[in-house]
Amino acid sequence: MAFFQGQAKTATKHMVDPALQPWVEKYRPKTIDDVSAQEHTVAVLRKTLTSTNLPHMLFYGPPGTGKTSTILALSRQLFGPDNFRNRVLELNASDERGISIVREKIKNFARQTPRAQMVASDGNTYPCPPYKIIILDEADSMTQDAQGALRRIMETYARITRFCLVCNYVTRIIEPLASRCSKFRFTPLDSTSSTLRLSQIASAENISVTPDVVSTLIDTSGGDLRRAITYLQSASRLSSSTNPPTPITSKDIQEIAGVVPTDVVNDFARALGVEVFGDMDTDGPVDGKKRGFETVQKKVKAIMREGYSASQTLSQLHDIIITHPTLPAKQKAKCALAFAEADKALCDGSDEELWILEVGLQVLRALSS
C-alpha cells in the first residue's frame, strides 16, 4: 500500500515522476557553469553573478544550443529556489502573447517593486539583486505589435526589471528592441562537448552506449543537443522495453530520427546518374544501366511507398551531390537550384511525390548535359 500512497502524494503536488520526466528536463544545467560549450557567454554572465548587475539580454541561436537553459540556470543562481517564483516570469509561445497580454500581464509584473531579500530556506546565500527577470521564450513568434508595445515598458521599468528575449532568428526581433539589449549568440555545439554531455547522461542512466552510437547521435542531430538527448532517451526506452534488453545500435537511432537509410538514398542517387563512393559493393559500371524517366519515376514511387519524409530524402540527397568529389561546379549549381525550388515548394505544402520526381529529373538532366 505504501507504493500507492507515495503515488497519490506526488500526484497532489503536481510533481512529475522523475522516471517519466524527459531527460531534457531532468538534465537541464543547474548552474551556468554546467552549460555545455558557449564559453564566451558563460564568462560574461558569470561576472554578472558577482556584480549583481544585469543588462537586458537577447539570446539567439539555433535550437538546442542551451539558450533557455542558460537563462533559467542564471536566474536560479541569482534568486535561489524561494524567490524564483515571484522574481521570474517565463512566457513562451504556448501562452497567449498578443498585445493585450503585453499590456496587462507583463506590464503588471514589470511594475511591481521586488520585496526585500529573505534568507533562503536551503541555507545557501544567493545574490538576490533588487530586480526581477522576465523571460520571453521563443520571442520571434511574437507579433510586431506586441514587440512594439514592449519598447517603452522596457525603458520605464529598467530600474526594477530586466528582460531576456530568447529566439532562433534575431532578424525577426524588431530593431528598437534589439538595440535595447546586449546580444549573445549561441553557436551549434561542437562534437567534443556533445559527446561529453551524452556520455555523462548515459552513465547517469546506467545505459551502455558505444562510441559508434554517440557519433550517429551527433550526426543526426546536427549540433542540437536537445534532439540528441531525446533520441537517446527514445532509443533506451525501446531497447529496455524488449525482453531481454537489447543494446542500442546506430540503426535504431537512425530509425528514431526519421533518417532515410543510406543505401536507399545511394540507390536513388545512382538512378539519377550520380556516382556514389564509399560503399564497396557497387557492382560494375553504373553507366551501363539505362537511366531515364521510367526508372526515376519507379524509384520515387518506391520511396513514397516506404513512407520516408520528402524533405529528409531531399536533404540527404543534397548532401551527397553537393559534397561530391568529382562533379563539376556548374552541374552542382544546377542541382542546387532544383533543391532550393523544391524546398520552397514543400514548405508551401505542395505534393511530395511530384516534387521529388521533379528534383530527380532536374538532377538527371543537369548531370547528363
Partner 1 sequence: MSLWVDKFRPRTLDELHYHEGLSARLKSLAASGDFPHMLFYGPSGAGKKTRISCTLKQLFGNGVEKLKIDQRVFISPSKRKLEINIVQSNFHIEITPSEAGNYDRVVIQELLKEIAQTQQVDLNAKQRFKVVIINEADSLSRDAQAALRRTMEKYMSNMRIILCANSTSRLIAPIKSRCLLMRVAAPSPEEMQTVLEHVAKKLRFDLPPEASQQIVADSGGNMRKALLVFEALKMQSPDLSGSLKIAKPDWETYCHKVADLIVQEQTPARVMEVRSKFYELLSHCIPPTVILKTVAERVVERVDENLKADIMHWAAFYECRMRIGNKKIYHLEAWVVKVMSLYKVTKHFVYDFDMSEFE
Grid cell digits, residue 358? 521533379
Residue 234 binding partner 1, by CB under 8 A: yes
Residue 205 binding partner 1, by CB under 8 A: no
Residue 74 binding partner 1, by CB under 8 A: no
Single out the residue of 238, 276, 286, 327 in contact with partner 1 (rule: CB under 8 A): 238
Residue 310 binding partner 1, by CB under 8 A: yes
Residue 308 binding partner 1, by CB under 8 A: yes
Distance of closest approach, residue 330 Cβ to partner 1, in angstroms: 19
Residue 139 binding partner 1, by CB under 8 A: no
Cα distances from 37 to residues 66, 192, 223, 228, in angstroms, run 9, 9, 11, 15
Single out the residue of 72, 139, 248, 256 in contact with partner 1 (rule: CB under 8 A): 256
Contacts of 149 (CB under 8 A, 6+ apart): 99, 102, 103
Residue 34 binding partner 1, by CB under 8 A: no
Q: Which is nearer to partner 1, 78 or 269 (CB)?
A: 269
Stretch that binds partner 1, among 74-82, 176-184, 267-275, 341-349 (CB under 8 A): 341-349
Q: Which is nearer to partner 1, 33 or 306 (CB)?
A: 306
Stretch that binds partner 1, among 106-114, 203-211, 232-240, 273-281 (CB under 8 A): 232-240
Site string for partner 1, 273-292 (x = CB under 8 A): -------------------x
Q: Are 41 and 70 in contact, with CB atoms under 8 Å apart? A: yes
Residue 311 binding partner 1, by CB under 8 A: yes
The region that residue 125 occupies, defined by phi over 0 for left and psi between -120 and 50 for alpha, beta otherwise, is beta
Cα gap 63→85, rounded to integer Å: 26
Distance of closest approach, residue 192 Cβ to partner 1, in angstroms: 22
Residue 358 binding partner 1, by CB under 8 A: yes
Q: Inter-axis angle of helices 225-241 and 211-221, to 10 degrees?
A: 130
Distance of closest approach, residue 26 Cβ to partner 1, in angstroms: 11
The amino acid at residue 150 is L
Cα angle for residues 98, 101, 103 (degrees, 5° grid): 110
Residue 189 binding partner 1, by CB under 8 A: no
Number of other residues whose CB lies within 10 A of the CB of residue 114: 16
As a dihedral over the C-alpha atoms of residue 30, residue 33, residue 39, residue 45, rounded to 10 degrees, the angle is 80
Cα gap 185→68, rounded to integer Å: 13
